[in-house]
Structure 1
Amino acid sequence: MSGILSAKSFDGGAVIVLTDGALYDRDGVLLGVQRKVAVSDRLPLAVAFRGNVAFGETVSQRIILSAEAIGFDRMLLDLDAALPGMPESPNLEILIAGVSESAGPVHRMFQNRPVEFGCAPSTLIDPGPMHWGFGTNGEAISLQAMGIAPPRKGETMQAWLARHAVAIFENFRRIKVAVDPFDDNTDRQHLIGGVLDMTVVSPSGVTITQLHRWPDKVGMKIDPLSHNVRRAA
């Protein structure tokens, strides 16, 4: 599966979401590159997904339409009540970043994979200050192990993520993960690539900035070892 990283700003005034854009088949061959974030035209609301693309696009649009019709907070309440009936497949993880009428900028996530994949399935979860949605090879992961320095004095979360986003995603890009985590027979491939987008959701609206484009080729498997990415200072 692809990658999602979401974080609340230090002052609580925004949510920053990082996503890649690789679309691939069951053999890990890149089929195309597209933005994996849907944005409301009427609200400061963005929905990112990883997993099955068609399912992710459908669920994202339903969340947005619901929020536009009844408000963000009521949408979350209705979604929380409906999630126990969510299909168990195809696999999907959703990250919602929006502005609550009662709490300001927040992020929430849910997924339909078994609990061993990181959290309770079909349950709306507050991930805390930061959400890490990446496939792994089972090894422990930390920013220190990646060589990512903490924010500089006075540096905003948005600026810090913009500075280190490529290095963070490059770390996970180099890890081979199962193309289908539900199927032990699927191959393990490099599945993060295409582009790296930063979405910022705040009371003033939603902005999306492309931070990086990898030299991945449609029709070929992603090969992160074929190039070098310069690490931020």
Structure 2
Amino acid sequence: MSAYIAACYPGRVEMVSDGASFDFDGKIEAMRSKITPSDLLPLAVVGVGVVGDIALLKVAVLEATQACSTVDEVIERLHTDLPRVERRSTPSSITIVAFSESSGGQIWEYNNERKTLRPYWDSHAIGPELSMDEMRASGADITQSLREGGVRLLEAMRRKPCQPVQEVPFGHYVGGHIDWCVVDKNGVRIERVHEWPDVVGEKIEVA
């Protein structure tokens, strides 16, 4: 399971993501940054689902940034390239945040079961679903930035037990750390803004 939130703001797109991946017993398998930036264009990508399938989709995105000179060209190319990536396991998806030369901040999602790349105009979130009451209780304010409010929302998602897929037990699947990503005309910046005391090989325990 992954949890991440992306939102467009004037002159930029922001994203926060957790950093833990899990095995089929619900134990933490690894902790790493899930946000992969392009070195060439103002674009970054994150995924949820099967690690191997996400990696293949990310490769397709990065190859497109190498073959194209603008974000707009990359997105146009990915409508064709991503459906060609063969799915090897249960459904996975990626979310792309980018700063377009023609239209500014963009959020796109690709699902390898649906095989379509679709836009989200203002925001997009993946993770344990929060009710309006739970979002208000978190104290999160994301009107100006995800830097602090996004952390509060991921903390609330972490506390909410879920079963991401049938193959894993009911439990907590948001962990490791939180990375905050900003994408604007100047490129991609990623900062580690929160860490949890989680341990590889163990399940997440929430007090």
1:144 to partner: Cα distance: 4.5
Structure 1 residue 72, shift from structure 2 partner: 2.0
Instruction: Compute the displacement of 1:145 (Å).
Output: 3.5
CA drift of 1:43 comes to 1.3
Whole-angstrom distance in 1 between the partners of 2:136 and 2:192: 26
SS state at 1:211 partner: strand
Q: Which residue does the alignment assign to 1:108?
A: 108
Does residue 15 (structure 1) correspond to residue 2 (structure 2)? The answer is: no
Q: CA deviation at 1:185?
A: 4.9
Q: Deviations over 1:192-215 (max 9, x none)?
A: 000100010000111111110000
Question: Aligned to 2:66, what secondary structure does the other structure show?
Answer: helix
The alignment partner of 1:56 has SS state of helix
Q: Structure 1 unaligned segments of length 5 or more: list them.
A: 114-120, 226-233
Q: 2:149 aligns with which of 139, 164, 188?
A: 164
Structure 2 counterpart of 1:5, one-letter code: I
CA 1:108–1:21: 2 relative to 1, 3 Å: same
* 1:175 aligns to 2:157 (yes or no): no
Q: Secondary structure at the match of 2:174?
A: coil
Across the two proteins, how many residue pairs are aligned to each other? 205
Q: CA 1:147–1:29 in 2, change beyond 3 Å: closer, same or farther?
A: closer
Contact 2:141 2:149 in 1 (8 A): no
Offset of 1:150 from its aligned partner?
4.1
Determine if the alignment matches structure 1 residue 146 to structure 2 residue 134. no
- Cα root mean square deviation, aligned: 2.2
Distance 1:79 1:162, change over 3 A: same
Alignment of 1:28-107 (within 5 A): 28-70=26-68, 71-84=70-83, 87=86, 89-107=89-107
Q: Given the two structures, how large is their TM-score scaled by the length of structure 1?
A: 0.79
Indicate yes or no: 2:176 matched with 1:189: no
TM-score between both structures, scaled by the size of structure 2: 0.88
Shift, 1:33, TM fit: 0.6
Aligned CA distance change for structure 1 residues 150 and 38 (closer, same or farther; 3 Å): closer
Asked if 2 retains the 8 angstrom alpha-carbon contact of 1:105 and 1:203, the reply is no
- Is the 8 Å Cα contact of residues 18 and 179 (structure 2) preserved in structure 1? yes
Query: Structure 2 vs 1, CA of residues 20 and 185 (structure 1 numbering), >3 Å: closer, same or farther?
Result: closer
